[in-house]
Amino acid sequence: MASEAPSPTIPLLTPCKLAKFNLSHRVVLAPLTRQRSYGNVPQPHAILYYSQRATKGGLLISEATGVSDTAQGYVDTPGIWTKEHVEAWKPIVDAVHAKGGIFFCQIWHVGRVSNTGFQPNGQAPISCTDKGLTPQIRSNGIDVAQYTQPRRVRADEIPQIVNDFRLAARNAMEAGFDGVEIHGAHGYLVDQFMKDQVNDRTDEYGGSLENRCRFPLEVVKAVADEIGAEQVGIRLSPFAHHAECWDSNPKELGLYMANSLNKYGILYCHMVEPRMKTPLEQVECPDSLVPMRKAFNGSFIVAGGYDRKDGNNAVAEDRADLVAYGRWFLANPDLPKRFELDAILNKYHRETFYTSDPIAGYTDYPFLEVIS
């Protein structure tokens, strides 16, 4: 009797060696702000949220987590700068590890994407510039976010901000995370320094590409020195215009960073595709991330608008080692299983992305009913 034909290989579901981490598949939970950490403290309901999406040998990246009390710009986003934060994260991390997952904490500072209401003592937000951000329509398409003109940080203050990232990385490891991802994307502080349409400094942190990337690379070095380069990643979006933060030569910027990161031997570089779209932002660019992928020596994660087919092609064509999914993983806690079966995906509900509800649009998306 003829044997059955072997099942076709699904590239996204093949194993991947990520330094000391043995991944069973290449589907990554992208960092997703959910605004359910009341008072900047991670909450018990996050235990279920993250553990639902954890699989043995699967990589999860946490929502963006503030490195200091000046890092905030949104309601109820988590922090990692106090002992209370560390203790609150521990049971969440433990729940992911109990499922066999690998969990990285994304650490961030929003910079000028803030206002005095989020800042200690009502002070102005800090940035590389004193150029303000115009009011922005929020992702729900209704509300308007107001921003305060930022204060340009002095060069002698920058080491303290670098140290905030270093201490946040140490705290993340104390909380049990397997590593950290530095948020260098989407118009926040690290990105503000890199992009020439925001950074108008004339000192050693502005002007040339090398100078604009000085602060980001100082953060990378400090974090890598603190916890070990093999436990550090960074997310970059050289092509994006989010929060009025863009660069006149994004390909050059992306290549410079990819090459410069090699000096520090970090674990991975996580880049957002130029085709990345949101309802409020349309970014089209004929360039791709392939040159950056080739330039960077570590593992390469891509994100931005991928579906199952796109992700499989990216891995099969060696354009990426791993593919991060945001909205689809949010709405499908069993996304790797659905990709395995090529099953229909739950639709995501944008109106519940950023609510404070501990259940609705958070832990109530259904799993597949698989009959064994």
Does the annotation count 354 as an active-site position? no
The number of residues in the chain equals 372
Give pLDDT, residue 43.
98
Query: By the 8 A CB rule, do 189 and 109 touch?
Result: yes
Query: By the 8 A CB rule, do 125 and 79 touch?
Result: no
Residue 265 has which token pair?
A: 């031997």
Task: Give the C-alpha separation, 217 to 201, whole Å.
Answer: 17
User: For 143-157, how does the pLDDT look when each residue is reduced to its tens digit (9 = 90+)?
Assistant: 788 999 999 999 999
User: For 83-96, how does the pLDDT look when each residue is reduced to its tens digit (9 = 90+)?
Assistant: 999 999 999 999 99
Give pLDDT, residue 83.
98
- Residue range 169-186: average pLDDT? 98
Give pLDDT, residue 283.
46
Closest C-alpha among 307, 355, 357 to residue 327? 307
Three-class SS state of 213: coil
- 102 forms beta bridges with 59
pLDDT classification of 277: cutoffs 50, 70, 90: very low
Residue 39 has pLDDT above 80, yes or no: yes
The single residue of 49, 147, 188, 362 carrying the catalytic annotation is 188
Give pLDDT, residue 282.
47
Residue 139 has pLDDT above 90, yes or no: no
Quote the mean pLDDT of the chain: 94
Task: Give the C-alpha separation, 102 to 115, whole Å.
Answer: 34
Task: Give the C-alpha separation, 284 to 177, whole Å.
Answer: 35
User: For 254-275, how does the pLDDT look when each residue is reduced to its tens digit (9 = 90+)?
Assistant: 999 999 999 999 999 999 998 6
| Rg (alpha carbons) of the chain, rounded to whole number | 20
Contacts of 79 (CB under 8 A, 6+ apart): 37, 40, 41, 65, 66, 67, 69, 71, 72, 85
- Residue range 365-369: average pLDDT? 95
Give pLDDT, residue 280.
47
Give pLDDT, residue 140.
65
User: For 225-252, how does the pLDDT look when each residue is reduced to its tens digit (9 = 90+)?
Assistant: 999 999 999 999 999 999 999 999 999 9
Query: By the 8 A CB rule, do 339 and 13 touch?
Result: yes
Residue 338 has which token pair?
A: 């659905």
